[in-house]
C-alpha cells in the first residue's frame, strides 16, 4: 500500500451523502479508522455539521462541504476543498443516493429522471473526479443495492439506477490499471435508515427483516464495516460488487 498521506499524516476520505444514514456511519467509521473525512452533503448543513462535531469530539478530523453530486463544477470544488484542507484524497465513497418507488407502469418520469440524475450521473461525476485525483494506494467505493438481484416489485427504476453503478465500477477498475487504486461497489440489503423505512408499514418492514437468515434489518454500521475493509486493508479486492445483506438471496 502507498505511504502517501495528508500533511497531518492521515489518509483522506471524501464521503458523499455523509450527513445521514449509511453515509454518516461510513464517515464516522473511516474517521475512527484514522482517516480525515470530507463530508459532502446536498442541502442539510446543520446535519452535516453534527457529523463533523461528532467526529471531532471523538478525536477525529473532518469538514463538511455542500455539493450537488451530479454537477461537475460543484464536485470539483468539493475535491478542491479536500486537497486544500488535508493535502490530497486517498478514498472516495459514493454514498449519496435517492430511492423513489412505484410500479413501472405508474412511475412518474420526472421522479425517474431525478433519481437517475443522482444515482447514475452523480456516481459517474464523482467517480470521474476520483479517477483524476485519488492518490496511489487509494480506493474508490461506489454504492449499489441488493435489489438488483432480488427483482422486487416497485423497485425497477431504482434497481436500474444501481445496476448502472455495478457496470461502471469494474470498468473504472480496469481503466486505472497501474495506479494502485481499487474500485469496488457495495450492495447493501434492507437497512434501517430513513431512506429505507420511509413510506413502509410495520408489516412490510418486519417481512423484509425476516428475509435474511439473520432475521433482522441491516444496521448502517454493518455496511460501514464493509466500506472500512475496502477503504483500507482490502488491496486484493478490485472491480467487485460486495453484497452486504446478511445472506439475502
Alpha-carbon distance of 215 to 213, in angstroms, equals: 5
How confident is the model at residue 215, as a pLDDT? 84
How confident is the model at residue 248, as a pLDDT? 83
Tell me, rounded to whole angstroms, the distance of Cα 17 from its chain centroid: 7
How confident is the model at residue 7, as a pLDDT? 46
Of the candidates 78, 83, 81, 80, which has an alpha carbon nearest to the alpha carbon of residue 94?
78
| Residue 40: φ, ψ to 5° | -95, 120
62 pLDDT more than 70? yes
> CA-based Rg of the chain, rounded to a whole angstrom?
17
- Tell me the sheet residues that pair with 12: 36
216 close to 17: Cβ distance less than 8 angstroms: no
How confident is the model at residue 196, as a pLDDT? 73
How confident is the model at residue 221, as a pLDDT? 95
Which domains does the chain show, CATH number per domain? 12-243 (3.40.50.720)
Tell me, yes or no, if 158 is annotated catalytic.
yes
Q: Is 83 helix (H, G, I), strand (E, B) or coil?
A: helix
DSSP helix, strand, coil percent of the chain (3-state; round to 5): 45, 15, 40
Alpha-carbon distance of 247 to 64, in angstroms, equals: 34
30 close to 91: Cβ distance less than 8 angstroms: yes
Q: Is 134 helix (H, G, I), strand (E, B) or coil?
A: coil
Question: Which whole number is the average pLDDT over 206-235?
Answer: 90
Percent of the chain with pLDDT over 90: 80
How confident is the model at residue 8, as a pLDDT? 53
Catalytic residue selected from 41, 155, 158, 243: 158
* Joined grid coordinates for residue 111: 421522479
200 pLDDT more than 80? no
Alpha-carbon distance of 68 to 23, in angstroms, equals: 15
Query: Cell numbers 479517477 correspond to what residue?
Result: 131
Q: What dihedral do alpha carbons 237, 243, 245, 246 form, nearest 10°?
A: -60
Question: Which whole number is the average pLDDT over 144-150?
Answer: 94
Question: Which whole number is the average pLDDT over 58-68?
Answer: 97
What's the pLDDT tens digit per position in 101-136? 999 999 999 999 999 999 999 999 999 999 999 999
Q: Average pLDDT of the chain?
A: 93
How confident is the model at residue 3, as a pLDDT? 34
Amino acid at each position: 500500500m502507498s505511504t502517501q498521506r495528508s500533511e497531518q499524516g492521515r489518509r483522506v476520505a471524501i464521503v458523499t451523502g455523509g450527513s445521514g444514514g449509511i453515509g454518516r456511519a461510513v464517515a464516522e467509521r473511516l474517521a475512527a479508522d484514522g482517516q480525515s473525512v470530507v463530508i459532502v452533503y446536498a442541502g442539510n448543513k446543520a446535519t452535516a455539521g453534527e457529523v463533523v462535531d461528532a467526529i471531532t469530539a471523538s478525536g477525529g478530523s473532518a469538514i463538511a462541504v455542500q455539493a450537488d453530486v451530479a454537477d461537475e463544477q460543484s464536485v470539483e470544488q468539493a475535491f478542491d476543498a479536500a486537497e486544500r484542507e488535508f493535502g490530497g484524497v486517498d478514498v472516495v465513497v459514493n454514498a449519496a443516493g435517492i430511492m423513489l418507488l412505484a410500479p413501472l407502469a405508474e412511475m412518474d418520469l420526472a421522479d425517474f429522471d431525478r433519481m437517475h440524475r443522482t444515482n447514475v450521473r452523480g456516481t459517474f461525476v464523482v467517480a470521474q473526479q476520483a479517477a483524476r485525483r485519488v492518490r496511489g494506494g487509494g480506493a474508490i467505493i461506489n454504492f449499489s443495492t441488493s435489489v438488483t438481484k432480488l427483482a422486487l416489485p416497485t423497485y425497477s427504476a431504482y434497481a436500474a439506477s444501481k445496476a448502472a453503478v455495478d457496470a461502471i465500477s469494474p470498468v473504472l477498475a480496469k481503466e486505472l490499471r497501474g495506479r494502485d487504486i481499487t474500485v469496488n461497489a457495495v450492495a447493501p440489503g434492507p437497512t434501517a435508515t430513513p431512506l429505507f423505512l420511509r413510506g413502509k408499514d410495520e408489516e412490510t418492514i418486519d417481512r423484509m427483516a425476516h428475509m435474511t437468515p439473520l432475521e433482522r434489518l441491516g444496521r448502517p454500521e454493518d455496511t460501514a464495516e464493509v466500506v472500512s475493509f475496502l477503504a483500507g486493508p482490502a488491496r486484493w479486492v478490485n472491480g467487485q460488487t460486495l453484497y452486504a445483506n446478511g445472506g439475502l438471496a
